């Protein structure tokens, strides 16, 4: 995992979107975490099972494993731990004991699978896809089934939803910016990252109250 910020005070566990969107938004999320560190807020960005540099192959990963790993990390970090996520990363913190959750454009597992199936259908126009292959990722039937039922956390505790201003759905705050997760290549938006880090910092301060 990557670790940023001080050794004391509140700490954030960050969750990237699943699959290809993780590659497109990783640099952006790291920029947010570095800005949080400048504001005195620590953070970690773990490679959950089957993601990033994890030794577990994506095709062998399960949503339950990823959720358990997130929850175990939150437990080890202890009090004053918060979760922040982008898109489908919002389905990973549901079992964790956290002081609060901050979600950027949260996406349900069902919507994620729908996007994967749409991308797969487009790709097969140029030739048949390998069984179980979605947007370059090999996924098991059980992983897809679990994702179709996965929803972002909707329980007790502080939850803040932030969206881009082009998204008409309900949100606690909206910011101008382009959806990096939709780009063909990885990108970054330093100005937006700094604004979001400010939003997170203020939100955590209000939670710590």
| Tens digit of each residue's pLDDT, the chain (209 residues) | 899 999 888 999 999 999 999 999 999 999 999 999 999 999 999 999 999 999 999 999 999 999 999 999 999 998 899 999 999 999 999 999 999 999 999 999 999 999 998 888 776 665 555 568 887 889 999 999 999 999 999 887 899 999 999 999 999 999 999 999 999 889 999 999 999 999 999 999 999 88
Q: Enter the pTM of the model.
A: 0.93
**Where do the H-state alpha helices sit in the chain?**
20-38, 63-77, 109-123, 141-149, 190-208
Q: Please report how the helices 141-149 and 63-77 are oriented relative to each other, as an axis angle in degrees rounded to 10.
A: 60
Show Cβ contacts of residue 40 under 8 Å, excluding neighbours closer than 6 positions: 5, 6, 9
Domains for the chain: give ranges and CATH numbers.
2-108+151-208 (3.40.50.1820)
């Amino acid at each position: 995992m990557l670790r940023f910020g001080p050794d004391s005070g509140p700490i954030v566990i960050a969750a990237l979107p699943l699959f290809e969107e993780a590659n497109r938004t990783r640099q952006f999320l790291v920029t947010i975490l570095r800005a949080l560190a400048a504001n005195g807020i620590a953070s970690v960005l773990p490679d959950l099972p089957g993601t990033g540099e994890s030794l577990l192959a994506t095709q062998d990963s399960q949503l339950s494993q990823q959720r358990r790993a997130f929850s175990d990390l939150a437990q080890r970090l202890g009090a004053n731990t918060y979760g922040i996520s982008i898109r489908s990363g919002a389905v990973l913190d549901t079992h964790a004991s956290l002081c609060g959750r901050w979600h950027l454009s949260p996406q349900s597992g069902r919507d994620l699978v729908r996007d994967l199936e749409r991308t797969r259908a487009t790709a097969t126009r140029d030739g048949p896809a390998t069984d179980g292959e979605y947007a370059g990722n090999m996924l098991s039937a059980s992983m897809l089934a679990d994702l179709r039922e996965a929803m972002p956390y909707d329980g007790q505790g502080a939850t803040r939803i932030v969206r881009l201003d082009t998204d008409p759905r309900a949100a606690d705050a909206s910011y101008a910016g382009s959806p990096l997760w939709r780009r063909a290549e990885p990108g970054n938006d330093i100005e937006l990252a700094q604004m979001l880090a400010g939003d997170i910092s203020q939100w955590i301060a209000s939670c710590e109250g």
